[in-house]
Amino acid sequence: MSEKNEYPPVGSEITGNTESMAENYNQGSTSDPAILGGSPVRNKPWPAWPEWNQATDEELIMKVMRSGVWSRAGVVEEFEKEWAKLIGSKRCLGVVNGTNALITSLIQLGIGAGDEVIIPPYTFIASVQSIFQAGAIPVFVDVDPETFQIDPDKIEARITSRTRAIMPVHILGLPADMNRIMAIAKKHKLLVVEDACQSWLAEINGKKVGTFGNAGCFSFQNSKNIPMGEGGAIVSDDDEFMDRCYSYHNYGNPFGSAVGEVGSGTVIPGNKLRLTEYQAAIGLAQMARLQEQTTTRNNNADYLKSRIKDIPGILPYVFIPGVTRAAFHLFPFRYKKEQFSGLSREVFLKALQAEGIPCSGGYTPVNRMPYIENIFKSKNFKLMYSEDLLDYNKYMERTNCPLNDQLCREAVWFGQNMLIGDKKDMDDIANAIEKISSNASRIKEKTDKAV
Ligand SMILES: *Cc1c(COP(=O)(O)O)cnc(C)c1O
């Protein structure tokens, strides 16, 4: 959990740390909640992330380092070939990160000034920024709080004459409902760019997410389930689109079908987004364990869900129909404080952490942060859009997502590294939640007094 922006700090309703509180309330019993001075359910560490196995992982990276060929060449090509094969896509292009995989895809699908892109607000900031970077405007569609995903029933009401694309996000590593989203896209002739930056190897009826839309985008940032420090990829079956993506990621220079006139030099507006050979070497090492770790995460998530789903006030994720495998970048549930004697989520998180269970409250609403108003005031956007379309209050009203606001207040996450352990680790999590559940009123009373 080193990536701070993936795990925003939880709000603190308790002043002072839990240790000094423990002194105040120390009653010495192991059945006491750790936040009140009892012994924690767990004092073992959780699996470290990322994993690096010297015996299996170091040979290729050392070969790359000694060769002096560090810029894009054969190892990146091998990584792309293997990733395309694993995802079940014709082509793959490695890029510097997931954010730029999204930006490249949007731009090479022709999305830009004047266009609107439908997106759920329950996502990482990078999804939304990519749309603005392409010069388009994101239009938020509310989530289904049970699945944590975009609600397909709410998409059509937010389609306008300017809508060009949908960006479904398979958030937390759980698939969004691609069959329904693709049907809506087809009906309204919209492009689809899948943000699969948390959803490596997740599937709907055996088909991998990232292969439903016009393009699928992945991230290999350090906290992700296949980490390489920084890195990303675009997958697609469309050769012409992939040639243009390649060209764009390499200064706009000719590639494949994007060749222009013979001798005409650089052919399209470009950027420089190439993956390095040593990143690809790390990626290949990580890819080798992704299948097995994904299976372990699915089995552990399934077991953990079965253990906590009947605790009053704990509502674990529900899959959209047809999910055959998820990625579980995170394990999510909704916390209903009414069934915990009114104990706030913030204190619940601290109580859980005190039991030795790392957890987070997850995202705050990305549609309510200051960057949007600042983008609307920017020189470029003022040239690209009418004053009416840049009316911030009007925009906020027409893209309002009340269920997401509530979800952001209720969500609780466990990180993917906690799911690569064994059943006993899941039991620790479940036992800690049960312990807090049965002591909720006592914790509330004591921590209320401490404020
Ligand atoms: C991580 C992430 C991204 C961006 O990927 P980077 O590699 O960090 O640029 C985009 N969308 C989602 C949902 C992510 O989790």
The string of pLDDT tens digits covering residues 253-293 is 999 987 776 667 899 999 999 999 999 999 999 999 999 99
Q: Kindly report which listed range (74-88, 115-129, 261-275) carries the lowest average pLDDT score.
A: 261-275
Q: Which atom of ligand 1 is nearest to the CA of 100?
A: 9
Output the CA 167–ligand 1 centroid distance in Å. 13
Output the CA 376–ligand 1 centroid distance in Å. 23
pTM of the model: 0.93
Q: Which atom of ligand 1 is nearest to the CA of 97?
A: 7
Output the CA 426–ligand 1 centroid distance in Å. 27
Whole-angstrom CA distances from 279 to 80, 127, 177, 218 are 12, 23, 32, 15
Q: Which residues contact 326 (CB under 8 A, 6 or more apart)?
A: 173, 174, 175, 199, 202, 297, 298, 301, 319
Q: Is the pLDDT of residue 339 over 50?
A: yes
Output the CA 124–ligand 1 centroid distance in Å. 7
| Rounded percentage of the chain residues whose pLDDT exceeds 70 | 92
| Spatial separation of the C-alpha atoms in residues 64 and 61, rounded to whole Å | 5
- Residues with a CB atom less than 6 Å from ligand 1: 97-99, 123-124, 126-127, 169, 171, 195, 197-198, 219, 221, 232
Counts of helices then strands in the chain (DSSP H, E): 15, 15
Q: Which residue's alpha carbon is nearest to atom 5 within ligand 1?
A: 98
pLDDT tens sequence across 172-210 = 999 999 999 999 999 999 999 999 999 999 999 999 999
Q: Which residue's alpha carbon is nearest to atom 6 within ligand 1?
A: 98
Whole-angstrom CA distances from 392 to 102, 366, 368 are 25, 15, 11
Q: Between 450 and 331, whose confidence is greater?
A: 331
- At 1 the pLDDT is 39
Q: Is the pLDDT of residue 226 over 60?
A: yes
Output the CA 271–ligand 1 centroid distance in Å. 19
Query: What is the overall mean pLDDT for the chain?
Result: 93
Give CATH for domain 54-288.
3.40.640.10
Output the CA 199–ligand 1 centroid distance in Å. 10
| Rounded percentage of the chain residues whose pLDDT exceeds 90 | 90
Output the CA 217–ligand 1 centroid distance in Å. 9
Q: Which residue's alpha carbon is nearest to atom 2 within ligand 1?
A: 197
The amino acid sitting at 301 is A
Using pLDDT thresholds of 50, 70 and 90, give the confidence band for residue 450. confident
Q: Helical H runs in 233-276?
A: 239-249
- At 28 the pLDDT is 42
Which of 2, 6, 96, 99 is the pocket-test mutation for ligand 1 (most atoms within 8 Å of CB)? 99
Q: How many CB atoms lie within 10 A of CB 203?
A: 18
Output the CA 79–ligand 1 centroid distance in Å. 19
Q: Which atom of ligand 1 is nearest to the CA of 221?
A: 7
Output the CA 63–ligand 1 centroid distance in Å. 29
Output the CA 130–ligand 1 centroid distance in Å. 10
Which of 171, 198, 225, 328 is the pocket-test mutation for ligand 1 (most atoms within 8 Å of CB)? 198
Which of 195, 234, 279, 329 is the pocket-test mutation for ligand 1 (most atoms within 8 Å of CB)? 195
Q: Is residue 131 within 8 Å of residue 162, measured between CB atoms?
A: no
- At 451 the pLDDT is 61
Q: Is the pLDDT of residue 18 over 60?
A: no
**Structural domain 34-44+289-362+407-450, CATH architecture:** Alpha-Beta Complex (3.90)
Q: Between 21 and 85, whose confidence is greater?
A: 85
- Sketch the domain layout of the chain as residue ranges: 34-44+289-362+407-450, 54-288
Q: Is residue 267 within 8 Å of residue 256, measured between CB atoms?
A: no
Helix or strand or coil: residue 228?
A: coil
Output the CA 339–ligand 1 centroid distance in Å. 34
Q: Which atom of ligand 1 is nearest to the CA of 220?
A: 7
Q: Which atom of ligand 1 is nearest to the CA of 171?
A: 13
Using pLDDT thresholds of 50, 70 and 90, give the confidence band for residue 26. very low
Helix or strand or coil: residue 262?
A: coil
56: exposed, middle or buried (C-beta count within 10 Å: 0-12, 13-18, 19+)? Answer: exposed
Q: Is residue 353 within 8 Å of residue 22, measured between CB atoms?
A: no
Q: Between 1 and 285, whose confidence is greater?
A: 285
